Structure 1
Amino acid sequence: MPVAENPATNRISNHEIVREYFGYWPSFHDAEITKAAFEANPGYWPSATFTIAAFELTAEVDPKGHYQQTKQCTIELLFTGIREMELEGFSHQNVILSLEIEESGSHIQCTINPSVGLDAFLIAEKVSVLSLTPTKR
């Protein structure tokens, strides 16, 4: 569901891809991190790519009482020039309670608050949307 616009998300390269698809920048509530890849860049700061299975919840419920989903997709976020990173709890399921983006001086800070699994905090020079691939409508 739409949330108040956060101006820090404008610093994410290719953020327009996500905004076009959803009509806003989502909170990623109940989305799931399905893959995390880390790269050590000798002589430079490391990078990390997170693959997120995201969607929008509707107000409609199915016969079991679950809210129906729409705009299902996979989003890849790349964090480059990571200055600080704390990760805990990566598991077989990594459901996001919220994904918060904030400015931290000239860097971007990302906090992934978990419902289950990965709890993460990163400060990076740059964040980019590498791709958004619809999986269902």
Structure 2
Amino acid sequence: MLSVYGYWPSFHDDIIKEVTLGIDGIAMNILMQSKPEDVEKECMVKLKFLGVEDMNLEGWYSCNIVLDIEFEYERENIKSMICASLGLTGCIVSKSMSAEIKFF
């Protein structure tokens, strides 16, 4: 994320397209509406939450628009708080989190 954006985005007005739950963790695909001016291609960010200790997600809608996603350390875990303008909102507490960017 930092090499493409130069900063960690807030995900404001970006769209959560898919959430996958599995025994290995949770994956969240986010279509980025906000991107640096020099990036012309559309991009999708996949956030991976591994070693999930707790989660509470609610409000899935046909269009899930993010207000912001905040991350904070909580002892040895990462607490990821998803606030929505519309749709999915909640919290994921995990041992680790990573991000991948795909351009199309």
TM-score calculated relative to the size of structure 1: 0.69
- Indicate yes or no: 2:87 matched with 1:117: yes
Structure 1: state its 5+ residue gaps.
1-17, 42-46, 59-68
Could you say which residue in structure 2 is the equivalent of 1:40? 23
- The corresponding residue for 1:106 is 76
Contact map agreement 1:56 1:71 (CA 8 A) in 2: no
Percent identity between matched residues is 28
Contact 1:81 1:124 in 2 (8 A): yes
Q: Where does residue 63 of structure 2 map in the other structure?
A: 93
AA aligned opposite 2:102: T
Give every structure 1 segment of 4 or more consecutive aligned residues whose post-TM-superposition deviation is greater than 3 Å. 69-72
* Equivalent runs, 1:1-137 vs 2, <5 Å: 18-40=1-23, 47-56=25-34, 72-129=42-99, 131-135=100-104
Offset of residue 124 of structure 1: 0.2
What's the CA shift for 1:72? 3.7
Number of matched pairs: 103
Decide which structure has the larger Cα Rg and report it: 1
- What residue ranges of structure 2 are gaps of 5+ in the alignment? none
More strand by share: 2
Q: Please, what is the CA RMSD of the aligned residues?
A: 2.0
